[in-house]
Structure 1
Amino acid sequence: MAAAEEVVKDVGRAIEETPVGEKREREEEAETMAPWEQHASVISIPRFDYTAPSSLLHHSHSGFLVTCSIKREKSATKEAMSILGKVLLPLGEVLKSSDESKRPKLCAQETEETGENLNAEDLKPAKESVNEEHKSLMSLVKLTKSGLLLFTFPVDNSTDTTDIVSRVFQCVKSGALKAPVWCHRIFPVQATCALTEKELQETVSKLVQRFVDDKQNTLSTPVKFAAGYNRRGVEEAKGKIQKASEVLDQCPLLDRTKCFETVAAGVKAIVPDSVVDLKSPELCVMVELLPLSRIPNGSYVAAVSVLPHKLVSTKPKLAIKPLVPESKQKKGQN
């Protein structure tokens, strides 16, 4: 009986009227979109995969971290689906669908204002066995930070995310892809790991070795490298705690200096004669703290990539290049 009541509640939630904020967002989008784009915009937002955060705590995943306009996450999700669909897979297969066979694994997307208490079931490690037919599909992962989207591939997926982002840049530059409106940057996640000294150093070393072994990358002697570290949301958290040391006690690598030392150790373990060069690095080690939802307090997961210089900008700080040059973005806004 209780189960039947729960089903009724789920159905009721599913047919609730569109929130005013979301309706207004859609109306504003429609004003600037051509008819065929308006038709495409009715694509339903993919469901969050609530097993993903738990899996990220226990396994390394590749994927994409997308930065977007704040409060435009839904619009950016549709746009990212379109971009990745054209470059990576047929649009309908980019993200996990919500058909009957997968509903037990996926939960309906929540609005940004919704806050739910964690259940013990949410923290259980994700099953290691993944259905073969879903091997190539990505999951949409819920984050606690606005202006960010995270898409992940299943464990041990060998998709070259760096190559995909390179192709996105080429397509946007050539005009094969329309310049994105809501998505600003797409960071190719090569691996994820717990934000500990041991795991981060091992992950960096593994990715640097892969970079060095790639014959497409030409390296000089000594090899010049740089490191970038984004701790999105950590600064806000520190402001709410009386002593910043309490946060660092939980995770020493939240300290930028300690993180850079660990990254450098990982690089030098593979390329002993490497030197830091912030102006023209040949390889760039990027570390992104992932503000995951539904993980235990004190647990931190980082996305790590080793990228060629052509994909990054060094000023004002080391970062993945924007999909549209900032000068063009400003010009288009005026």
Structure 2
Amino acid sequence: MEQRVNSEPPAENQKKKKMAEDEGKTTAEGEKIEEMKPWEQHSAVISIPRFDYNASSSLLRHSHSGFLITCPIKREKSATKEAISILEKYILSNHDAKRRKTCMDDANAECKGSREESGTSMEKSDILSLVKLTRSGLVLFKFPFDKSPAVVDIVSQIFQSLESGILKSPLWCNRILPIQGTCCLDEKELKKIVTKLVEQFMNNRQKETGNTVKFAVGYNRRGIEETEMKNLRNTSSDPDIFALLDRNKCFSVVAAAVKEVVPDSIVDLKDPEICVLVEVLPLSGVPDRTAIVGVSVLPRALVTTKPRLSIKALVSDTKETNKKKR
């Protein structure tokens, strides 16, 4: 029987054993077992996708759904890896549930085949594109314009999993905003997309007769400060181009769109039933004097109204405080 011979010099082998013993973890051959930190484990398992440099031009031409994630400044890479690990799971489960329903409604041989093909493409994780932004502390993913998953349902499932303990609290992702559609910051385009999303919301809602629908509007310019707006107005030949960057003007356009769909609706900032969020997306590679916004119409359960209307944080301030005390 052939005996295994250690080809390494005795001195080198003893050195390895000593280093491994100092760490307290060794293999039978005295090899050191590497203990990776959580972020190193993330990096080893999940690679960061490259930016989709065609994303900006596509967003100028088409409406896209996706997710806007907030994170600490200079932690965008860590947040990207973490977001991918979270979103992939729920995008796949949401997709499979939809496919199962389709198969039950239309049971035939083709359904099985199409499900297998679609499942394969989903598992390749190429359905989400990473979009390059000009602001720190943000990560943006978009779906192809011809695919519109139920992004609000996906975020709702993430919150449910966090509350039940199935999903661990994220370290880097602070908030995940589901974006149901995008458009240029133009009065006509904004009104069109808000009208469409509010109609979808009302169709899915069990309206109680006699009750007035309460709504609120949230608008985030994402770093476009008042001084920048003033400079844009002064340098622009058309003063109406950036009119909607004004908060009050944007609110009035969105409110008119909501009332067009739900005439008996009223504004209620404390306890709204319909929450319309408009987010200016700081995209890289878009022409000057052009702004793209992401729009979402969300239920009350997914938003917080204090200090302003926004998507709920994934980890509550109370939990964050407790972490720091430890």
Shorter-chain TM band: 0.7 to 0.9
CA contact (8 A) 2:133 2:284 kept: yes
The equivalent of 1:11 in structure 2 is none
Residue from 305, 323, 330 that aligns with 2:321: 330
Distance 1:50 1:237, change over 3 A: farther
Residue from 130, 138, 149 that aligns with 1:140: 130
Tell me, in whole angstroms, the C-alpha distance in 1 between the residues paired with 2:291 and 2:143.
19
Aligned partner letter, 2:172: W
Distance 1:271 1:242, change over 3 A: closer
Which moves more between the two structures, 296-305 or 37-46? 37-46
Q: Report whether the alignment pairs 1:183 with 2:173.
A: yes
Q: How many aligned residue pairs are there?
A: 260
Residue from 232, 239, 242 that aligns with 1:251: 242
The equivalent of 1:61 in structure 2 is 64
CA contact (8 A) 1:136 1:153 kept: no
Quote how far apart the aligned CAs of 1:302 are.
0.4
Quote how far apart the aligned CAs of 1:178 are.
1.1
Distance 1:293 1:158, change over 3 A: same
The equivalent of 1:99 in structure 2 is none
Which moves more between the two structures, 172-181 or 183-192? 172-181
CA contact (8 A) 1:193 1:301 kept: yes
Equivalent residues in 2 for 1:85-164 (5 A)?
85-89=88-92, 133=121, 137-164=127-154
Distance 1:242 1:159, change over 3 A: closer
CA contact (8 A) 2:232 2:242 kept: no
Quote how far apart the aligned CAs of 1:331 are.
2.1
Q: TM-score, normalised by structure 1?
A: 0.73
Give deviations 1:94-114, integer Å, cap 9, x for gaps: xxxxxxxxxxxxxxxxxxxxx
Tell me, in whole angstroms, the C-alpha distance in 2 between the residues paired with 1:38 and 1:148.
21
Tell me, in whole angstroms, the C-alpha distance in 1 between the residues paired with 2:307 and 2:138.
20
Tell me, in whole angstroms, the C-alpha distance in 2 between the residues paired with 1:189 and 1:147.
17
Distance 1:279 1:220, change over 3 A: farther
Give deviations 1:107-147, integer Å, cap 9, x for gaps: xxxxxxxxxxxxxxxxxxxxxxxxx9579701000000100
Quote how far apart the aligned CAs of 1:333 are.
2.1
The equivalent of 2:52 in structure 1 is 49
SS at match of 2:318: helix
The equivalent of 2:29 in structure 1 is none
The equivalent of 1:305 in structure 2 is 296
Equivalent residues in 2 for 1:189-268 (5 A)?
189-215=179-205, 221-235=211-225, 238=228, 246=235, 249-268=240-259
Unaligned segments of structure 1, at least 5 residues? 1-32, 91-131
Unaligned segments of structure 2, at least 5 residues? 1-34, 94-119
The equivalent of 2:287 in structure 1 is 296
Distance 1:245 1:87, change over 3 A: same
Tell me, in whole angstroms, the C-alpha distance in 2 between the residues paired with 1:297 and 1:220.
48
Which moves more between the two structures, 289-298 or 166-175? 166-175
Tell me, in whole angstroms, the C-alpha distance in 2 between the residues paired with 1:83 and 1:219.
39
Taking only aligned residues, the RMSD between alpha carbons, in angstroms, comes to 2.4
The equivalent of 2:86 in structure 1 is 83
Tell me, in whole angstroms, the C-alpha distance in 2 between the residues paired with 1:186 and 1:219.
33
Distance 1:242 1:155, change over 3 A: closer
Tell me, in whole angstroms, the C-alpha distance in 2 between the residues paired with 1:291 and 1:210.
27
The equivalent of 2:42 in structure 1 is 40
Determine which structure has more spread, i.e. the larger CA radius of gyration: 2
Give deviations 1:28-78, integer Å, cap 9, x for gaps: xxxxx9657633323321100011111001100000000001000000000
CA contact (8 A) 2:39 2:78 kept: no
Quote how far apart the aligned CAs of 1:176 are.
1.2
